[in-house]
Amino acid sequence: MLVPLLQTTGQSSKLKTLATASAIGLAAVTIAPELLARGHETAAVTIFPIGAAILLVSVMSALRLVRCPRCKSPWLQFALAENSVGGWLTWLTTFSVCPDCGLSSDQIDKVPDRDR
């Protein structure tokens, strides 16, 4: 039986970490205008760019780093482009064969560790 490829390659924890960082960045960007409206200009002007940077870096990192260890196909980009708005995350966490090169979880021991 094939296991989800994201889990087999150890990339689910990477994706969770980057998603957490994205949520923190989004929270900071969302809170900053409220701080500004309440008269906390210094805090708002400090928090907004830091939150925006965290959000941008974490999203861009996830798009580049969650990929096939064999062919380097960007799985997150594929999931977002080829699946519905409500289905991309389910596909990403359950797929067991790389859509580009056919790598499956039962073949993963043949891929060198340095490429994971």
Burial classification of residue 8, based on how many CB atoms lie within 10 Å of its CB (0-12 exposed, 13-18 middle, 19 or more buried): buried
Angle, nearest 10°, between helix axes 11-37 and 41-65? 160
Residue type, 90: T
φ, ψ at 8 (rounded to 5°): -60, -40
pLDDT of residue 49: 98
Say yes or no to pLDDT of 67 above 80: yes
Residues 49-59 have a mean pLDDT of 98
Question: What's the mean pLDDT when you consider all of the chain?
Answer: 91
pLDDT of residue 113: 46
Can you tell me the distance from the alpha carbon of 58 to that of 100, in angstroms, rounded to the nearest whole number?
25
Specify the pTM.
0.82
Q: What is the mean pLDDT of residues 71-83?
A: 95
> What is the largest distance, in Å, between two alpha-carbon atoms of the chain?
59
Higher pLDDT, 115 or 75: 75
pLDDT at residue 21, as a whole number: 98
Confidence at residue 33, expressed as pLDDT on a 0 to 100 scale? 96
Question: What average pLDDT does the segment 57-64 reach?
Answer: 97
Average pLDDT over residues 87-107: 92
Structure tokens at 76: 């997150």
Q: What is the pLDDT of residue 110?
A: 54
From its phi and psi, is residue 48 left (phi > 0), alpha (psi between -120 and 50) or beta? Answer: alpha
User: pLDDT: is 112 or 51 the higher one?
Assistant: 51
